[in-house]
Amino acid sequence: MSNVIEIKPLTRVEGHGVARIYLDGKRAERVELALTEPPRLFEALLLGKSFEEVPEIICRICSLCSTIHRVTSLLAVENALGVNVSPVTRLYRELIVNGGHIQSHALHLFCLVLPDYFNVASFAELAIQNPDLLKLGLKIKGVGNLIQETIGGRLIHPVNIIPGGMGKRLNRDELMKLQEALEAILPDTVKAYDLFASFDALGPPLPRSSFMAVQGETATPFFGDRLNLSNGRSVSAANYREVLHETVVRHSNAKQSLFEGEETVVGALARLNVGIKLSSRAGQAFFNAREKLIAADIWSNNLAQAAELILAVELSLEIIATLLNFDKGSDKPVTIARQKGSGSAATEAPRGVLIHSYSFDNRGFCTTADIITPTAINQSAMERDLLALAREMEGADDAELKLKLEMLVRAYDPCISCAVHLVRL
Amino acid sequence: MTKPVIAIAGLTACSGCQLTLFNCEEELPQVAERFSFASFPMGLSGGNECAPIDAAFVEGAVSTPEDLETLLNLRNRSRLLVAIGTCALWGGIAAMKNNESRKELAETIYGDSAHSIKTFAPGPLQRFVTVDFSITGCPPEKGELLTTLASLLHGTLPVFPGYPVCTECRNRENLCLLIERNEMCLGPLIQAGCNARCPTVSIKCEGCRGPAAEANVASEMELLLGKGFSRREIASRMRRFYPEWNYEQRY
């Protein structure tokens, strides 16, 4: 006789999901992670839209990662149409992506995950029980948002970054304000890292995975043209279709992506394990707690995100220093001719590998769109870990089991709106 | 004084309206202190699915039976139902292709598996329930969300501008992208309150806040057609956040 334990809805994650554990007697027999987000059909919405509209529409796939979706979409559109943007434009895009990582990681760590370490149900209880810690996180998060709003013109769904360039570049004062704010939170990010390094794992050891991340020879962290795996495999990101296979799963509105038939994990922990280039303080922090991060299970993803908070702040400061040395130059974006073309781009979203790929007809209207999101890639490893954890906890009472399983889902920091999107046309 | 009880839920959407609350970094601890949360799946575990609510904030369009169930549950329990964001108020980005068959759109994505997916053309909340108050925007402005929360504490609701983006844009002395740069700016039709964010960084208004009161749609159409834009391009852009424009409307 089988019995089902259902966690509905999964809370403190982005989007709508349900986890079901099917028991045979006491033993967990199988697990379903159902991403029940209403179908978004974004790839279908993009068809027939002009190349200018594509980035403006697709960033609405998800608010938590709207910046990286927008930037990835711009890169894919520009690759498709053979457009080269100026070095200054590239730097602004890198800066806003770092701002996005700061805001997303700080939101996840302090508003969604931290309550678990203090046995409370939400940020609201944390605000009463431990207000200083919540405020520390919100201060860091606020600076990520300041970067996104100053460059993007808006907090969520940035508007100021467009195909070929930017609407308006920042002036010196604005850059220096960002610099000041970033310098102020750098010590806070180190504090945040030490805090997460001081916590024990939230649950028993889980299976280890191969990790995957986007890298490039010369490219800066979070950008690149290759998909590298922790097992040494490396493929060109443009050939992602040869290795990443999507399948429709009956119980979920998202499609699962497997790397050559096997689950692989993406995200902050994957980036550290594949070997993202670290800045000085981030490198030091990583070294100090390396035994918790190297070849670790997913519980360590929270600590890895904290390491990336330091990294993103340091990278942002480097970029601003470079931008302050550039002459202001022309604001005018590159003019783009309407033409036929196909192209893709891969980046590191806060939650891991993100790929956009488009084709346009000779009038610049979108004819195919394909998007692979980190949560779709992580989905099968999440299910594997949920099953392992449920078996490890055999005999635990339902409430305790549900609590731990939810913590496990949260450690992956899933973005369900992103995962339930669209897919290849 | 007892704390007002609020609930926050998302339907078919990107969670951006809920994130807007988290983006009030300065004010969030105070919000946590002054309100009691009945349910807010993105922000808290536990929650109470039966308790009466003073104000329910609902993000997103309605496009599945589950969306409708959530909406009806919240409507039944709440004194005020607040539509938050463009999707909840106008249909938003999910509704832009409501003139095409939802079934075919789903098949484009899910292929043969599409038949098992229950979805209908996304619609705004007011198509299904009475909506007491709305905060527009994609994303909504932090200020408008906080003003609404603060007003609730005083037992009232704020009044937001019904005039178009152009009014704010002119106040900021921006270059007019529509007249002076011949761009497809939707400022004349769109509800203000964003302080003309986009035109201020030289980006044309994409219309994310939905129609202003008494929008002169026919005139904007004539103006844009006169500038050489095709009807297809204009309609595509105008439908992005609101699929039901009356292109003949004149004031």
pLDDT tens per residue, chain B (251 residues)? 689 999 999 999 999 999 999 999 999 999 999 999 999 999 999 888 889 999 999 999 999 999 999 999 999 999 999 999 999 999 999 999 999 999 999 888 888 777 777 899 999 999 999 999 999 999 999 999 999 999 999 999 999 999 999 999 999 999 999 999 999 999 999 999 999 999 999 999 999 999 999 999 999 999 999 999 999 899 999 999 999 999 999 98
Number of domains in chain A: 1
Q: In three state form, how does the secondary structure of B130-165 look?
A: CCCEEECECCECHHHHHHHHHHHHCCCCCCCCCCEH
B17 and B85 Cβ atoms separated by less than 8 Å = yes
Q: Do B19 and A156 touch (CB under 8 A)?
A: yes
Which domain range does residue A153 map to?
A: 42-419
Residues of chain B in contact with residue A423, where contact means CB-CB under 8 angstroms, are: 109-110
pLDDT at A152: 97
A277 lies in some domain: yes
Q: What are the structural domains of chain B?
A: 5-153 (3.40.50.700), 165-238 (no CATH)
A107 lies in some domain: yes
Asked if A39 reaches chain B (Cβ–Cβ under 8 Å), the answer is yes
Residues of chain A in contact with residue B25, where contact means CB-CB under 8 angstroms, are: 138-139, 141-142, 145
**Model-level pTM?**
0.96
Asked if A241 reaches chain B (Cβ–Cβ under 8 Å), the answer is no
| Domain of residue A356, CATH code | 1.10.645.10
Which tens digit of pLDDT belongs to each residue from A28-56?
999 999 888 888 899 899 999 999 999 99
Nearest to A122 among B29, B45, B142 (CB): B45
A374 lies in some domain: yes
Nearest to A127 among B33, B111, B203 (CB): B33
A118 half-sphere exposure, CB direction, 13 A CA radius: 23
A32 lies in some domain: no
Residue A333 has pLDDT above 80, yes or no: yes
Q: Which residue of B has its CA nearest to A112?
A: B43
Q: Do B138 and A60 touch (CB under 8 A)?
A: yes
Q: Which residues numbered 51-80 in A keep a CB inside 8 Å of some CB on B?
A: 53, 56-57, 60-64, 66
Angle at A17 between CA A14 and CA A20, to 5 degrees: 145
Helix (H) or strand (E) holding B90: helix B86-90
Residues of chain B in contact with residue A251, where contact means CB-CB under 8 angstroms, are: none
Q: Which residues numbered 135-164 in B keep a CB inside 8 Å of some CB on A?
A: 138-139, 142
Residues of chain B in contact with residue A108, where contact means CB-CB under 8 angstroms, are: none
- Give me the interface pTM, i.e. the ipTM: 0.96
